[in-house]
A and B are shown apart, each in its own frame.
Chain A
Amino acid sequence: MTGPVLEAREVRFAYGRSAPVLDDVSVAVTPGRNLALVGESGAGKTTLLRLLLGLARPTGGAIRYDGRDLAPRDRALMREFRRGVQTVFQDPYSSLDPRQRVSGIVSEPLRSLGLLDGVPRDVARARVAEALRAVGLPEDAAGRYPHEFSGGQRQRIAIARAIACGPRVLLADEPVSALDVSTRVRIVDLLAELRETRGLTVVMVSHDLAVVAALCQEVAVLERGRIVESGETAQVLGSPRHPYTRRLVDSVPRLP
């Protein structure tokens, strides 16, 4: 069994001297096992995701990539980390630069990681085309602008941008909650497919337990900055042991 690709180990996070937003939180991302972070607003899900993404540093504990503690001064490690861990946000309307063509948006991580330095134009173009194909967008999408696309297609563009540099982990904060239900199903299917075809492991923050159940093999339940229950999704959500998890599961409205 391989070790975790990304890990939060006994992480603590607090703003100034106020009560910690996260306290003694540990989660491990196993390659090939999608992980969901669930809980209510204010539980600390998004903060944990930001720490895993390296956008903020924990006030205690460590974030580990490939078994090594993230250290902003270790530039080689940080480059590897940036390339290996990418992200998709909730709102496909605000997360894409309206003045850039899709080709520019999708190739942005490649450029900022220096992966296009000295690379011929047509090779760069081929990499963008490949990413767009992987998310099910037509090739001519590259020359168009974000406003020409629907919400679901925009989220596909955001996913194409995230996977263009061939990451191992995709961190996604509520990636489908802004979408209509039929579009939501298609994006969930796409993310599930990327796990199969590219070995891309998704770490997702979501309040939607049905989406979690459909996409993630593992789940960690957060309540007020602590993990109250974690493990296999079917186990945790199917027979919850913690009262908070039970309440969460019981609250989901079901179809008659």
Chain B
Amino acid sequence: MTLLDVAGLTIRTGGRDLVSGVSFSVEPGGRLGLIGESGSGKSLTALAVLGLLPPGMTASGAVVLDAPGAGRTDVLGAGERRLNRVRGRAVSAVFQEPLTALDPLMRVGRQVAEPLRRRRGLRGRALRAAVLAALEEVRLADPERVARAYPHEISGGQRQRVAIAMALACDPALLVADEPTTALDVTVQADVLALLDGLVAGRGMALLFISHDLAVVARVTERVVVLRDGRAVESGSVGEVVRAPRHPYTQDLVASARHLDRALDWRTP
């Protein structure tokens, strides 16, 4: 069974193709990375999977989500009502900038409560307990304090943990993570990657991880698709692609990343 099947996805605006004929699939519990530089179409591909393409863009091809309990959904053809039932349960997302993912005027606890109340029908004390449990699950120290805080009162790493807690609230079959650690400090990035890794494994969730950073993608995924100017130029296991890239573009990308990575190989003086 395939959880997510993207076939010949093409995204067009103003007569120009931003994504052309991209195909990939994700099995239940599988982990796929989309790698690309700016303008490669990786984020648009992620938005298409979520049925969240901005107005003015048209998508063709097929994006099919088949999650247990949520049924089979043709994302590109589905109406907003149908998509709203799918989002959260079948698929949910974490984006790069946690500050824009959170409502600045609402306390964190209420924001995490929202999906729990709507999707799981929790109320009152049970809802409160579920909120704290969700915050604890993303390893937030002092969840009571975080729940009472407004987004600007907590750090960027804490905000991203809150965003992850919200994304996981309805136990989605697939988590789409678009550059989730790019805005974070390197030590925080390491913690958040470890957290994502553990949560995805623990829940048997599938992961579609989008990033420009080869090393980060290699840390959390098994297979990768390399995008360039809206086209998939190469795909395979992370190890293969990083160690023996075949397409000239991937070779260039890996060589650049390798060049900087090597600067960190110390011959201890």
Q: State whether B257 touches A238 (Cβ < 8 A).
A: no
B259 contact from A185, A250, A254, Cβ within 8 A: A185
- Which of A214, A247, A255 has the most chain B CB atoms closer than 10 A to its own CB? A255
Expressed in whole angstroms, the Cα–Cα distance for A239 and B216 within the complex equals: 23
Chain A interface (Cβ within 8 Å of chain B)? 40-41, 151, 180-182, 184-185, 188, 207-211, 213-214, 234-235, 237-239, 247-256
8 closest A-B pairs by CB: A238-B266, A213-B263, A251-B190, A214-B263, A253-B215, A180-B37, A210-B260, A40-B185
B261 contact from A180, A238, A248, A255, Cβ within 8 A: A255
Expressed in whole angstroms, the Cα–Cα distance for A181 and B259 within the complex equals: 10
Interface size class of B (residues with CB under 8 A): 35 or more
List 10 contacting pairs A-B, 8 Å CB cutoff, sorted by A: A40-B185, A40-B186, A181-B212, A208-B260, A239-B269, A250-B190, A253-B215, A255-B214, A255-B242, A256-B242
Expressed in whole angstroms, the Cα–Cα distance for A209 and B189 within the complex equals: 14
Residue B239 at the chain A interface, CB threshold 8 Å: yes
A255 contact from B190, B258, B266, Cβ within 8 A: B258
Q: State whether A184 touches B260 (Cβ < 8 A).
A: yes
Interface of B is mostly: helix
Q: State whether A254 touches B215 (Cβ < 8 A).
A: yes
Chain A residues positioned under 8 Å from B100 (CB to CB)? none
Q: Mark B203-219, 1 if CB is under 8 A from A, else 0.
A: 00000000011111011
A182 contact from B37, B156, B188, B189, Cβ within 8 A: B37
For the complex formed, measure the closest distance between the CB of A118 and the CB atoms of chain B, giving whole angstroms.
Answer: 44
Interface of A is mostly: helix
B266 contact from A182, A184, A208, A239, Cβ within 8 A: A239
Known: A180-B38, A181-B37, A181-B212. A238 touches B260 (CB 8 A): no
Q: State whether A252 touches B264 (Cβ < 8 A).
A: yes
A251 contact from B186, B256, B260, B266, Cβ within 8 A: B186
Q: Mark B179-192, 1 if CB is under 8 A from A, else 0.
A: 00000011111100
Q: Mark B27-49, 1 if CB is under 8 A from A, else 0.
A: 00000000001100000000000
Q: State whether B239 touches A253 (Cβ < 8 A).
A: no
Residue B125 at the chain A interface, CB threshold 8 Å: no
For the complex formed, measure the closest distance between the CB of B229 and the CB atoms of chain A, giving whole angstroms.
Answer: 12
